Amino acid sequence: MKYVTAFFMIILTLAFLSCGNENANENEWRKDYADFLEEYLTDSSGFYIGDINGDGIPEAVISYNETNSGVIAYYNNNGFAILDLEVISLWGKVGYLEETKQLIIQPFREHTTGTFGFVDYIIYEWINDDYIPVLTLNRESGNYDVSEYEQGYINGEPVEFIEFEDKVKETDALLYEKSTWFPMTEANEIEDYLEYLNQFTLN
């Protein structure tokens, strides 16, 4: 009996893991992505089409500037979805960790006395057919004049100063030393997005 149960558990797991691919219908995903590119691309932005999370379905990545600020279109259990990776200003960055296929975003960072001690980080990982935050680091700006820091939070939980600082240094290294980004195609190089997408297939 236990072998029968195990067999059905395997079948259910495989069905669950493949549902995102099924939602990306061969005849519909290209149109969804073409519409997405038409809506979100600007003359100065670029885009990349490729399987960045290893699910066998191409994703559509749009970047607006050198910080890689932008949006990503993908398919999850519910079908077409969009992940916002917007950086608030040039004082931030988005990166891709190729080894783990994670996305790391720093929407804004400390750069003046008024933003002393400020920290904001999110790392997304592809888990169970969707992008899930697996790490968040948050701390509001402190008082520069007296070197006073606000409380730091890891995944929403308050932690000691040293623990928080160590995690910030580790995450800084991931973004600024180990992360990469995708080769962008300029928006003005493509006249027909739907035709361009015909070269890509589902795996």
Instruction: Quickly count: other Cβ atoms within 10 Å of residue 16's Cβ.
Output: 12
- φ/ψ of residue 72, rounded to 5: -130, 130
Q: Is residue 75 part of a domain?
A: yes
The C-alpha atoms of residue 166 and residue 163 are separated, in whole angstroms, by: 5
DSSP states along 126-194: EETTEEEEEEEEEE---BGGGTBPPPEEETTEEE-HHHHHHHHHHHHHIIIII-B-PPPEEGGG-S-HH
- The span from the CA of 76 to the CA of 27, in Å, is 17
As a whole number of angstroms, the distance between CA 153 and CA 136 comes to 8
Residue 132, in any domain of the structure: yes
Q: Is residue 202 part of a domain?
A: no
Domain count along the chain = 1
Please indicate, yes or no, if residue 31 is contained in any of the structural domains. Answer: yes
Q: Domain range holding 46?
A: 2-197
Q: pLDDT tens per residue, the chain (203 residues)?
A: 333 333 333 333 333 334 455 566 767 899 999 999 999 999 889 999 999 999 999 999 999 999 999 999 999 989 999 999 999 888 899 999 999 999 999 999 998 899 999 999 999 999 999 999 999 999 999 999 999 999 999 999 999 999 999 999 999 999 999 999 999 999 989 999 999 999 998 87
Please list, in sequence order, all residues whose beta carbon lies within 8 angstroms of the beta carbon of residue 161, skipping any fewer than 6 positions away. Answer: 149, 152
pTM above 0.75, yes or no: yes
Residues contacting 130, CB < 8 A, separation 6+? 76, 77, 81
Cβ 59 vs Cβ 53: under 8 Å? yes
Q: Which residues pair with 71 in a beta bridge?
A: 62, 84
| Nearest C-alpha neighbor of 106 from the set 143, 139, 82 | 139
Report pLDDT for 9: 33
Domain membership of residue 80 (yes or no) is yes
Within a domain: 163: yes
Q: Tell me, yes or no, whether 22 lies in a domain.
A: yes
What CA–CA distance (Å, rounded) separates 81 from 34? 14
Residue 185 lies in a domain: yes
